[in-house]
Amino acid sequence: MLCTRVIPVVLIDGYSVVKTIQFKERRNLGNPITVARVYNTRNVDEMILLDIDASKQNRSIDLFTIEEITSECFMPLAVGGGLRTLDDIRSVLCRGADKVVLNTIAIDDPNFIAEASSVFGAQCIVASVDIKKDGDNFYVFSRGQIVDKDPFEWILQLQQLGAGEMFITSVDRDGTMTECENEIICKTVPKLEIPLIYNGGVSCPKDMVIPVKQGVSSVAAASIFHFTRWTPDSCKSELRAHGIPVRLIN
């Protein structure tokens, strides 16, 4: 059985680390290279680095930042933010990233997922979907607003187009540390044959157990690692205590 991964998410707004709450409020947390060094010493399974302003500012994530992180840190790195062309992806991979995270471009041009997967391999392509609840229904959330698109059908389409991994975020739980949005997980897992990373709402290590029991391959988090005493190893120890295989050094 494959080990469950615990993945820190580092959001940047160009050159500084930020943490959002429901994709709105922001708190500045300093230099991404410094944050990455800390995670590198904590033996994390993987890190996701996302520039949340890149697409709306019509630019790509800063390549120097990626190069600095990968030159000093030896954890797998998935990178997203403003990647809109094959050359953008190639530049990020050449700087040492292992995967790319694609969100906005997939909404604008779904066939780009197929093209990118064909050129770089599905294992490099992580499709990202931000999901928000409105009334009794869930919708795709993009560019600060709800999109009239069923997120679960969209997830299925992204898989069919060639994404090798899925990264879903609950917008309503983002930064709140109020437990995971299990309804989203229950609706997503049956759609997928590829690994699923869930993100949003983790408040303590125990919160990661239910998503994994429901079929999630990896659990991502940010606030719990920025603002509490819990570490990725704390989370993996809790998962192991519930019989879930994880990679622990000690």
Active site amino acids = 130
Distance (Å, whole) CA 165 – CA 48:
13
Distance (Å, whole) CA 151 – CA 188:
9
29-65 burial, b at 16+ Cβ within 10 Å, e below that, comes to: beebbebbeebeeebbbbbbbbbbbbbeeeebbbeeb
Nearest CA to 151 out of 125, 126, 182, 128 is that of: 128
Structure letter (DSSP) for residue 2: P
